[in-house]
Each structure stands twice: as structure tokens, then as C-alpha cells.
Structure 1
Amino acid sequence: MSKKFDKIIKSSVDQDILLFLKFAYFGNTSNPLEAASRSAYHDMMRTIRFYDLPQSDRWEMREKVNKVLKEEIDWLDSSHIKSQSVFDSWHRKLSDEIKMIYQSYGIEFSYGQAQKWINMTIKYLYILEVQSFDGVFEYLHIPIDNYIFDSVENLLGIPRPKQAWSRLDDYDWYLCYQEAIREKLSGISPLRWEFREWLNAVQKKGD
């Protein structure tokens, strides 16, 4: 961890149980990037309006995004990402690339959808323990969805937008929102905070 005060609670888990849980959630993880991207895509695909686009084109778009994600996430380490601003520029460029892939097929695709795919892929790679993101973890963005909008507003006092997360298409607003969250969090990386508060928010919704 690169954030000085991140507190990580370690626990011993039966390896067979851990492998089973990973398979139950992610499926085949022989290609971790593909598994992480697939799960991230499923988190947001219901928000995409495909209309009558053939299934073959949908697969083609996903493959193109996976190729870009692999190239870019392989580059995501402390030898390249030396500051928050460098990470933010990297994230904007990657978001633009994913948007352009979908738009080239005539599909509307927002920054809200792009950030969900990128940020959840990164989070899932961390969960799968194939990437620790040492040296850059504190720069990572929080995946934005309705649960996080609620937690950020209730716990950090940052108002939620009027738009649904999937329709947000102003990257400058998105970046300001991430910066506002970061400023409110003292001594903990945003993604570490999100791990805990997203789970709390989901459990409260289920009560």
C-alpha cells in the first residue's frame, strides 16, 4: 500500500474456500484480466442501449476494449504513475478510448459507463490478487454507482448529481467529484474506503 494510514485487516482463509468463492463470482480466472473485465462489464451492460446491433458486433467491441484495458493496465505501476495528476490523465485517456470504440459502432457510451468498466476492472484485479497496485493504490478512482452516491452524500456531505451514474458524460465533473471525495478522506485511500462503505450501503439497502 502506498497510502501511509491504510489499515488492512488480514485474515487466514482456507485456500479451497477462497478458490471456490473466486470461481463462483468470476468464473474461469485463467486469464485474470479477461475475468475482471467480464465481471465489470456485467456490472454496467444493462445501461447500454444496443438496439438491434448484432451480437457479433457486441463481442467485437468487448474484445477491443479488453485489448485496450490489458495494454493500459499493464502500464499502471509506480514507474509510470508518479502522481495523482498523471493517473487522472491516464484514466481520462483510457475513458476516451473506450467511448470511441463504442461510438464507432453507433452506440452511445458515456463517461459514467466508461469509469464503471475501468474502475471495477481494476478493483476486481485487486480482489483476484493478481495486481497489488503498490505505489499507485492511493491514486485509484472509486467506481461510481448509486450505492456510492448515497454513501458519499450521507457520510461525506457531497451532494449526489441529478443524473444517473450511467448517463454522466462530463469528465471534468467526474474528476471534480473524485477529487472532492479524496479531499474528505483523511489517511485512507479512496478505493479502500469504497470497499468498506459500498458493502455497508448494500447491506443497509437489504435491511
Structure 2
Amino acid sequence: MKSILTEQERENFLIRLYFKTDENYEIAGIKRAYLDFNRTLVLPENCEAKERNAKRAKTELFLRTKLIKLIKSSNLTQTEFDKLHEKLCNELISEWNELTFGQSQKWINMSLKYWLLFGESRIPNIENNSKFFHIPIDSIIQERFFQKNLPAWSKIQTYKEYFWYQQDFRKRYIGKIPILEEFREFNKI
């Protein structure tokens, strides 16, 4: 029997439901990625909700600008992408100095993952450099792919510490696109 809903209608509904939008997908992905790590974010006790929300909104716009530039970059190599990624993680921490490196990578990598999920029709150029995207490191990925008893992902303090995960994952999937393999593996959990 033919379905009365098209795949596009299903997709649009799920995106609207989960991301609460049918437009401005860049910010929607960044906002959702923030929610994926914010429970680990420790803010100063004197930080008011209004101040935190203003800082978050400013940082979301900063991140949007930087990520759009990153996905539009052409003729990159993996090494060049990695260097740009490291720079962006450090810039994000400079924007919001309460962030650890682990939280910074999670916000960036999940934003890119969500943008990839939205697809080229909603996020132009998202597939340009997707073969270089880093997998988001979190407790699920740590447990599934890496040795037990590692420090919490949110406590990662350096790029070197973080990048070990990327290199190890790439070795497991030589010749494949890491973010696509992570998508597939995550769906098996």
C-alpha cells in the first residue's frame, strides 16, 4: 500500500518537531547542539539567566558565521580542515571562556552533524567538506568505540587530548568518511 505521507513530509515534520523550526536551519542546528552539551556547562554562580542567554545568542551567531565559512572553504585537505577546526574550537572558547575543549568540540561537531542531517537543500555547501568532519565525542561514543574509564568528554582540556579520538576513529575506518560511519554506528546503538 502506498503511504499517504511523502518522505519529504515526514522529514519536514520530524525536523520541525525536534528542531522547532522550518527555517533558519543553521541556528536551529547550533541551538540543538548547545542543548546536547549544556548540562555539563558550569557557569559562575553570579551569572544571571538574562546574561547567559545574551551570551549564548551572541555565541550562536559567532558560531554560525564561522561554520558557514568553514563549509564553504574549497580545496581543503584533511590536515587543513583539522587546523581550521582546532582554531575554531579555540576561538569558541575565547568567546565563552567557561567552555572546556570537550564542550567546544561537541558544540561544533554536533552543529555540523545536524547541518548534514538537514541536507544540502537546507544548508547550502554542507557536503563540500563533510568527508573531513570530526565525529562528536561524548559518553556514548567513548563507551562504544574507545577504552573504558576515560576522562569525561566534557573535561577534555586540550586539542591533543581531543584529537586522539579522531585519529583512533579514522584508523578504524580507513578510506571511509568518519562522520558517515559515526552516523551509521550511532543508529545501531
TM normalised by structure 1 equals: 0.80
Match of 1:93 among 68, 84, 87: 87
2:113 equivalent to 1:123: yes
Structure 2 match to 1:61: 55
The AA in structure 2 aligned to 1:200 is K
**How many residue pairs get matched?**
181
Where do residues 4-19 of structure 1 align in structure 2 (5 Å cutoff)? 13-19=6-12
Answer whether contact 2:116 2:127 (CA < 8 A) is retained: no
Structure 2 match to 1:112: 102
Higher normalized contact order (CA 8 Å, seq sep 6+, divided by chain length): 1
Match of 2:15 among 22, 27, 37: 22
Give SS of 2:70's match.
Answer: coil
2:163 equivalent to 1:170: no
Cα distance in 1 between the residues matched to 2:42 and 2:72: 37
Instruction: Evaluate the alpha carbon distance shift between residue 102 and residue 78 of structure 1 in structure 2; reply closer, same or farther with a 3 A threshold.
Output: closer
Match of 2:68 among 74, 78, 100: 74
Structure 1 match to 2:133: 140
Cα distance in 1 between the residues matched to 2:152 and 2:138: 8
Instruction: Evaluate the alpha carbon distance shift between residue 183 and residue 78 of structure 1 in structure 2; reply closer, same or farther with a 3 A threshold.
Output: farther
TM normalised by structure 2 equals: 0.87
| % identity of equivalent residues | 31
Answer whether contact 1:33 1:125 (CA < 8 A) is retained: yes
The AA in structure 2 aligned to 1:86 is E
Answer whether contact 1:76 1:133 (CA < 8 A) is retained: no
Cα distance in 1 between the residues matched to 2:89 and 2:148: 21
The AA in structure 2 aligned to 1:61 is K
Instruction: Evaluate the alpha carbon distance shift between residue 162 and residue 151 of structure 1 in structure 2; reply closer, same or farther with a 3 A threshold.
Output: closer
Q: CA deviation at 1:52?
A: 3.4
The AA in structure 1 aligned to 2:157 is D
Cα distance in 1 between the residues matched to 2:23 and 2:50: 24
2:182 equivalent to 1:197: no
Segments of 5+ residues of structure 1 without an aligned counterpart are 1-11, 154-158, 202-207
The AA in structure 2 aligned to 1:189 is I
The AA in structure 2 aligned to 1:164 is A
Cα distance in 1 between the residues matched to 2:108 and 2:35: 12
